[in-house]
Every structure is written in C-alpha cells, then in structure tokens.
C-alpha cells in the first residue's frame, strides 16, 4: 500500500509540473487574467481581508527577496505601558479603519498625487511576531525585524532604501526603530515626536525601590540618547510637538534639553497657529537631514482620540494635526510610526483608528511626493538622498 501511495504522489507531482499554467487543460492568457482582475479585483471599503488600504500583503520577514519602496508593518506589543494596556490591538484596528483608503480613489488633493498609484511600490508586510511574555525578547524581536526589513531592496531608483511605516503597539517600539535606522544609515538620526508626553524620562524617575525597567513607553528616548542613537549636535536637535503633560518639575524639561530636544507645547497652536508650528518644526529640522517621525496618537485631544493608553486633556484636534502634517511634507523622512492606538477605549465610530489611518496616509503621501520633488530638482540625484 505504501508504494502505491508513493506512486500516486509521484504521478500527482508530474501532473502539477506539466500543468504549471493550465487548469483542466485550459491555458489562461494574460488578457483573460486581466479581465478577471477587472471583473473581481475590486474591494469595497468594507470588504477584503484587512490589509492597510487594501494593499497587497506579503509576510516580508519570511520573504527576503520581496522588494518594496514603502511598507506598512505592524508591531502589536503593549507590555511596556504604564497606564491602560491594549495597544497590541492597534495594528488591526488601524488597518480596519483604513478600509476606505483605496488605490482607485487615493488621490490626495493637497499633494496633487495618488500615493498608491505613483512611483513607489507600497505593500503591507503584516505584523512582527512579538512575544507578550518577555520584554527583553520582545525588544530584540522588534529590533531585529526592523533591521531586516530596512535592508530589503527597493524597486524604484527614487528610493535608495525602503521606508517603513510602523503601526503600534505602544511607544517603546520607537527605540528598536531607531536602533535599526542607526545601523542601516550608519549615522545618528533626528526625531520629530508628536506626543502629549516627553518620553525622555530617566527610568529612575519612576518608583524604583524594586529596580528599574528602562525599556518602557516613557523612557525610550532617554535610552536612545544613552545609546547615542540621536544626534547630539545643537544644529541637529530632535523636536517634540503637542506637549501638555504634568511633570515631576522643571527638572524634566532641563533633562530633555540636555538630551538635545526642542519643545513645542499644545498651547503654542493658540499663539502661533498651525503655520507657526509648521515653520518652527521645519526651521529646527530642515529638509536635508534624515528624520524619523513618531506619532503618539495621544497628541490628539481625548475628544478626538480617546482610544489610547495615556490620554491627556487639552490636545490638538485631528484637523489641526493633519494640517500640521501636511505642512511638513518637505522633511526627509526615513521612517515613521503611529503608536499607542488602543482600540478598546475608542468609540463605536472608530474615531481614533480613523485618525491614525489618515495620519499614515498623509505620511505615505509626503514620502512619495518627496521622491517626485527630488527627481525634479536639478543636480540632485536620488543617490544624494539618505
């Protein structure tokens, strides 16, 4: 019986090889496949298996030959939070809320492009498998995954290196992201950080009788500074915007300044307006240096984004924040994250994840537009671009 089974298997294998492009003896032409695509390829906003903006899904971590220019990657991890847990469900919620983003109607009027139908190959790489049990293993997994993904080849010469947009997860993931960028670019990076909180806190500022855990969602920039991942030149500061949290005292701001950060508060929008905030950010970061952009969704007021781990009253509206993001499209973004979306605390209308999905869309738009703008600049090739 065994040999009969083996024979059957061999026959089946032979058949499979012989019928590579056939099925039931029929050869499918490219035109016929194209027709099927036209007939059945579309997904309405509420359809599909839930990738970001209906993008093609590839498990890039197990497909090292997959080339891309921009990729979405989820980091469903929330074991480094200090208040409400639940951000491990953020990537799923943001993808779900991105359902009405589609390449067919993805034109962004503010930038005059459809980022999903332009030069960049954009895919959804799925999630990094991160253990919810051991934070040391978790940070190693995130670091290694982001290093590996950042070394994939690109498709377009407009993108010398691939750009990752990571969906959190809690904010601790920014540390693995900065470690990966530091290795990939071989230099320090400036950060633009939208958040209600500083996140440069010395871990000893937390109750520490029983020991300290430096890897947490309020100390990752302190650790990044300790590890020398951020530029320490006063000409290349990192920038916080949207700050409004309570502090230990002025010492927190002094520590933050010593770590080479500039601060813009949520209140600044009342005196400066969105244009003033944009101007100050661009003046601090410029358009040439590589910048990593990290968006903690709690930069928005809890009225607009209650689905988050550490809400603080008195933040920006979704419209104000998106206006600011649109205004800083000239930055040289080398990667970005949108973190701390914790969908259990959002309303049935998904306002928090809808805002997060729009933020991702605006960032992708800016990355694609930047590639086009560089192409148009005389004497500047993509090789000059980090």
Known binding-site residues equal: 171, 195, 197, 199, 296, 298
Cα–Cα–Cα angle for 374, 375, 381, nearest 5°? 80
Q: 336: which residues sit within 8 A by CB, 6+ positions away?
A: 163, 164, 165, 166, 292, 293, 294, 295, 363
Single residue of 199, 252, 312, 337 touching Mn ion by CB under 5 A: 199
Q: Which helix (H) or strand (E) holds 17?
A: helix 2-18
Min CB(159)–Mn ion separation in Å: 28
Whole-angstrom distance, CA of residue 355 vs CA of residue 319: 9
Footprint of Mn ion on 274-313 (CB under 5 A): 296
- Contact segment (CB under 5 A) with Mn ion among 148-156, 163-171, 327-335, 374-382 equals 163-171
What residue number has its CB nearest to Mn ion? 296
Q: Enumerate helices (H) and strands (E) in the chain, giving the number of each.
A: 10, 10
According to DSSP, residue 28 is labeled P
Q: Which helix (H) or strand (E) holds 136?
A: helix 135-150
Report, in angstroms and rounded to the nearest whole number, the Rg of the chain calculated over CA atoms. Answer: 23
Residue 171 binding Mn ion, by CB under 5 A: yes
Question: Between 124 and 199, whose beta carbon lies closer to Mn ion?
Answer: 199
Min CB(228)–Mn ion separation in Å: 21
Alpha carbons within 13 A on the beta-carbon side of 70: 28
Question: Between 122 and 220, whose beta carbon lies closer to Mn ion?
Answer: 220
Question: Between 220 and 368, whose beta carbon lies closer to Mn ion?
Answer: 220
Min CB(318)–Mn ion separation in Å: 18
Q: How many residues bind Mn ion (CB under 5 A)?
A: 5
Min CB(217)–Mn ion separation in Å: 6
- Contact segment (CB under 5 A) with Mn ion among 189-197, 265-273, 299-307, 355-363 equals 189-197
Min CB(183)–Mn ion separation in Å: 23
Question: Between 72 and 173, whose beta carbon lies closer to Mn ion?
Answer: 173
For residue 276, count other CB atoms closer than 10 A to its CB: 14
- Contact segment (CB under 5 A) with Mn ion among 40-48, 198-206, 248-256, 378-386 equals 198-206
Whole-angstrom distance, CA of residue 347 vs CA of residue 344: 8
Question: Between 195 and 236, whose beta carbon lies closer to Mn ion?
Answer: 195
According to DSSP, residue 18 is labeled H
- Contact segment (CB under 5 A) with Mn ion among 45-53, 195-203, 234-242, 316-324 equals 195-203
Question: Between 146 and 341, whose beta carbon lies closer to Mn ion?
Answer: 341
For the annotated binding site for Mn(2+), the residues are: 171, 195, 197, 199, 296, 298
Per-position DSSP letters for 207-221, written without gaps between them: --TT-----STTTHH
Residue 252 binding Mn ion, by CB under 5 A: no
Question: Between 78 and 199, whose beta carbon lies closer to Mn ion?
Answer: 199
Cross-strand bridge partners of residue 70: 122, 163
Residue 369 binding Mn ion, by CB under 5 A: no
Residue 195 binding Mn ion, by CB under 5 A: yes
Min CB(199)–Mn ion separation in Å: 5
CA dihedral sign, ordered 128, 68, 178, 373: negative
In the chain, % helix, strand, coil (3-state, to 5) comes to: 40, 15, 40
> Using CB under 5 A as the criterion, which residues of the chain lie in contact with Mn ion when the complex forms?
171, 195, 197, 199, 296
């Amino acid at each position: 019986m065994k040999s009969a089974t083996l024979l059957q298997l061999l026959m089946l294998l032979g058949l499979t090889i012989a019928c590579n492009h056939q099925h039931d003896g029929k050869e499918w032409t490219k035109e016929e496949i194209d027709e099927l695509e036209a007939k059945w390829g579309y997904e309405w906003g509420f359809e599909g298996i839930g990738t970001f903006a209906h993008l093609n899904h590839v498990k890039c971590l197990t497909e090292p030959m997959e080339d891309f220019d921009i990729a979405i990657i989820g980091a469903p991890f929330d074991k480094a939070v200090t208040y409400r847990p639940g951000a491990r469900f953020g990537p799923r919620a943001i993808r779900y809320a991105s359902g009405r983003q589609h390449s067919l109607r993805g034109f962004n009027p503010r930038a005059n492009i459809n980022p999903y139908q332009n030069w960049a190959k954009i895919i959804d790489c799925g999630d990094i498998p991160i253990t919810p049990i051991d934070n040391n293993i978790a940070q190693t997994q995130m670091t290694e995954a982001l290093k590996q993904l950042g070394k994939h080849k690109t498709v377009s010469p407009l993108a010398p290196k691939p750009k990752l947009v990571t969906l959190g997860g809690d904010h601790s993931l920014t540390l693995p992201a900065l470690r990966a960028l530091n290795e990939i670019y071989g230099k320090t990076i400036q950060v633009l950080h939208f958040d209600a909180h500083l996140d440069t806190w010395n871990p000893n500022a937390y109750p520490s009788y029983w020991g300290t855990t430096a890897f947490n969602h309020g100390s990752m920039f302190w650790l990044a500074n300790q590890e020398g991942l951020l530029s320490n030149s006063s000409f290349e500061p990192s920038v916080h915007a949207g700050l409004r949290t309570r502090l230990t005292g002025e010492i927190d701001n002094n520590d933050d300044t010593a770590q080479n950060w500039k601060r813009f508060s949520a209140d600044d929008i009342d005196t400066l307006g969105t244009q003033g905030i944009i101007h100050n950010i661009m003046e601090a970061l410029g358009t040439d240096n590589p910048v990593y952009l990290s968006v903690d969704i709690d930069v928005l007021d809890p009225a607009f984004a209650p689905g988050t781990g550490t809400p603080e009253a008195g933040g920006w509206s979704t419209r104000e924040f998106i206006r600011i993001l649109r205004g800083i499209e000239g930055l040289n973004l080398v990667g970005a994250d949108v973190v701390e979306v914790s969908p259990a605390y959002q309303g049935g209308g998904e306002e928090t994840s809808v805002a997060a999905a729009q933020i991702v869309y605006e960032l992708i738009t800016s990355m694609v537009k930047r590639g086009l703008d560089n192409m148009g600049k005389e004497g500047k090739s993509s090789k000059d671009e980090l």
